[in-house]
Amino acid sequence: MKKRGQKSKIFNYLSLTNQTRGQVTIFIIIGIMIVVIGILMYLFYPKIQTGLGISTDNPQIFIQSCMEDDVKTAVDEISSQGGSFNPKNYFLYQDKKIEYLCYTNEYYISCVMQQPMLKQHIENEIKNQIQNKKKECFNSLKKNFESLGYEVVLREGKTKVELLPKRIEVSFGNNLTLTKDGSKRYDKLSVLVNNNLYELVSIANSILNMEARYGDSETTIYMNYYHDLKVEKKKQTDGTTIYILTDRNKGNKFQFASRSLAWPAGYII
Amino acid sequence: MRKENSIVLLFFVLIITLVIGTANVLAATDSASSDVSFCCEKTNDGAWCLNEPESECNPSYNSAPTSCETTSYCKLGTCYDSDEGICMKNTAQRVCNDNGGTWDSREIEEVPQCQLGCCIVSDQAAFVSLVRCKKLSTEFGVEINYRTDINNEVSCIAEAQAQDVGACVYEKDFERTCEFTTRGDCGAGDEVKTVDGKNITLSNQKTFYKDFLCSAEELNTACAKQVSTTCYQGDVFWVDSCGNRENVYSDDKVRSWGSGKVVESDGVCNSNDGSDVDCGNCDYLSGSRCSKFDGFIGGPKYGNNYCQKTECVDRNGNSRINGESWCVNDGNTGNGGDKVGSRYFKESCVDGDVRVEPCADFRNEVCLENSIGDFGTAACRVNRWQDCIMQDEEDNCLNIDRRDCVWMPAVTGMIIGTQSANDTTYSNPSSTGTFSNPTANSSFTGNVVSPVTGQAINNGNEEKIVISGVNGNCVPNFPPGFKFWEDTSIQQVCGQANAKCVVVYEKGLLGGLKITKGKECMEEQWALSANRICVGLGDCGGYVNYKDQFTDDGYKWIQNKNEKKFTPNSVNIISGGFTGMIIAVTTGKEIDEEEIGDIYLVE
């Protein structure tokens, strides 16, 4: 009996120990999960916020979160196609339509500039490309703030896209007034994208002027001046030259085509 | 009645004939008009100012049946962007104006707004127009500093580097803080007032201390020295706790700090070619530039930036310094022996990567290289082969200021450039139709199998021995490549070097024949010499391609009706880089007491 009692005590002790161990394990697992979620929130906060429909009372943050990815996608697409979303006069390079920014269809003559106002052209292309998303985001913005109890007055305004040094700014002239325990008015909401397209377009303009003048360009000099810039020049069989400008730090890319002072193959009879 | 019917029938036949005739004429007219080149202000493809058939012109824009050079609407000028201050050459008026630019008919050099000067933005410089300078200064938030007296880019950059730099000290949020910048950007001491007859510069709450670092103890700022490192203009620099750049990084902190004063990079540590991770004085031209250290072991003592080696290794295993460039090609170069399908390339070493830049295809460009000491430089330049075959004097042929040609010995029976290209008595020696586009078939070996027909040989007995040129033939030094898989005119081109060699025999009194003239025509060397000239013309003749495969269907060598081929020994010599073979066809009719050997040039 004594023995049985002792045995029972030992059993209870062991049983208690197992229970405690189980609880500790659960706590550890919960702890790890909290840390992981915390890290995820920290890394992907804006995306999680909109993805889960988490609201914000700052319309600027809302618009930035809602539009940033689409602006980036539009910029990447346009940059890889010579500045146009739907190039018409293009060279097909690795299944990508790359627009001619300086072009002649003849031999022995210099090219004619096709997009002399390249920066403005790109700005317009980006603007056109994000119009649908803009409507969608402003509708979401309105619904979001109405759900938070705000009275929302939203007036349509103009969209302006600006390529600026080291960034692209998309600003919306939409007039937004939020009223709840007071009124707050926003005349401008904007989206900022970290991108060096402005610098790349400046280099492209310089290369295009050389193409128009000499029918060719010397690209090594650009890389000697700008150490973060990579300029690739791919001459094609028909006399077309594909230029790929890359920012080594950010990875931003701008590629375009040019055909100037082309030479035919062999003798002309 | 019959007569009436006949008249009616005749009338209908006449009408039908007229209708058909008119239709044909109209069709012909249409066809002719579609061939006429129009200057399209804009094409249906959206391109500006191209000479195209009328159907390609966008009807909403101007078009005229003339060349664009002669039209007013496609006159090229300079497009000036008044917002950005950028000028673009060779622009048509409408494309400029439609996009908001200002068009000027003058050349870019003559437009006042496009004149360049030195724009100094902080410690950076740009050689740009005045408006561009204003734009840049506004974007970077600094006052405009535009120098028209500096007229080249190098001086401009040097000017920027010569700017006074130092500590710009001011109060912010009750704290004495500092910014390391140029005197101009600091804007200290702008205000000058006269007090008691003396000019006193009032501090606008900012004081500029030339050549001082923000962490200098004398300045008593909140900035602590040497907290981290950063990359700036290719070098590694220390950064203070306020985020200001200090002197070039060195693990010798005391020396690098320089008691809080600006120290030249060479005063901190010697120029670093990438071999010392603890010296931030990277030398771009020696082969190093600032980069982040990604590894775990062997990094810099402080911070995570170091001078990374940027040297490259070329295809031959040689080390190349950053910025160095050199030529690469697919085989033999020059001396009229470039291989079929070969091309020139320029390679350069850029930040540790070998960058390949092909020169123009079909050997329309060649790569030339030079060196300054051990530093190699290369460039693609136009191959001036076009008028080589028109040169009949050696001096003109070898005038390197005007053309890239090579002079080859004369070949009996060959007259380059004077033969009728339209004469097609000889059929295509390789008319089996096996041409293919080398770019469309990876297994293509690049040999030229083009149909080359040669000059007809007269059937009469008036054959004479002719020798090409007086002393030789002028052919391209770097023979051009041909688009032989689609361009049928190549036959005529290669046919220019057809050769016909006449052998004259004399009957002996007791019978038998004795060669009196043209003995060399019977030897293989004659055919090889002719083939060499053929190869020199371009992708003609029996020669090797860039994969070193020899093909013998680019020539036809007929001797007294019998087709002959080069001996294996000769083929070996050619395949091994023989520069200049001929494709020749020796054909001929047996003539009494004469034998004719011909060589036809084929691509």
Most confidently predicted of A22-31, A52-61, A202-211, B573-582: A202-211
Tokens of A181: 């325990």
Q: Which of A53-57, A65-69, B15-19, B446-450 has the lowest mean pLDDT?
A: B446-450
Tokens of B418: 């004077």
Answer yes or no: are the C-beta atoms of B334 and B390 closer than 8 Å. Answer: no
The residues, any chain, with a CB within 8 Å of residue B359's CB and separated by 6 or more, are A235, B343, B344, B345, B346, B365, B366, B367, B380
Using CB atoms, pick whichever of A114, A116, A213 lies closest to residue B47.
Answer: A114
- Rounded Cα–Cα distance for residues B39 and B62 (Å): 8
Answer yes or no: are the C-beta atoms of B317 and B305 closer than 8 Å. Answer: no
Site of tokens 């006052």: B143
Site of tokens 């997009």: A115
With CB atoms and an 8 Å threshold, state whether A265 touches B46. no
Cβ neighbours of B578 (radius 10 Å) = 20
| Mean pLDDT for all residues in chain A | 86
Q: Which of A44-48, A255-259, B313-317, B329-333 has the lowest mean pLDDT?
A: A44-48
Cβ neighbours of A60 (radius 10 Å) = 14
- Which of B61, B89, B154 is the mutation pick for testing A, counting most A CBs within 10 A? B89
**A84 closest CA partner among A254, A216, A250:** A254
With CB atoms and an 8 Å threshold, state whether B323 touches A218. no
B453-465 tens-digit pLDDT: 233 333 344 445 5
- Rounded Cα–Cα distance for residues B572 and A163 (Å): 62
HEC profile for B322-364?
CCCEEEEECCCCCCCCCCECCCEEEEEEECCEEEEEECCCCCC
pLDDT class of B197 with cuts at 50, 70, 90: low
Q: Does the pLDDT of residue B367 top 60, yes or no?
A: yes
- Please provide the size of chain A in residues: 269
Tokens of A32: 């790890």
Residue A15 identity: S
| Chain B hits for A228, Cβ within 8 Å | none
With CB atoms and an 8 Å threshold, state whether B91 touches A111. no
A194-244 tens-digit pLDDT: 999 999 999 999 999 999 999 999 888 888 778 788 899 999 999 999 999
* Residues A104-124, mean pLDDT to the nearest whole number: 95
Tokens of B76: 């090229």
Domain boundaries, chain A: 1-54, 59-259
A137: exposed, middle or buried (C-beta count within 10 Å: 0-12, 13-18, 19+)? buried
B549-580 tens-digit pLDDT: 888 878 888 888 888 888 988 888 887 765 43
Provide the ipTM. Answer: 0.77
* Residues B159-182, mean pLDDT to the nearest whole number: 84
| Chain B hits for A232, Cβ within 8 Å | 355
Q: Which residue has the higher pLDDT, A76 or A27?
A: A76
Cβ neighbours of B273 (radius 10 Å) = 18
With CB atoms and an 8 Å threshold, state whether B325 touches A220. yes
- Rounded Cα–Cα distance for residues B595 and B593 (Å): 7
* Residues A152-156, mean pLDDT to the nearest whole number: 89
Answer yes or no: are the C-beta atoms of A252 and A193 closer than 8 Å. Answer: no
Site of tokens 């050689």: B127
Tokens of A123: 């700005």
Answer yes or no: are the C-beta atoms of A185 and A191 closer than 8 Å. Answer: no
Tokens of A144: 């979001």
With CB atoms and an 8 Å threshold, state whether A116 touches B99. yes
Residues 414-443 of B with CB under 8 A from A: 421, 439
How much is the pLDDT for B28? 41
pLDDT class of B286 with cuts at 50, 70, 90: confident
Percent of chain B with pLDDT over 90: 32
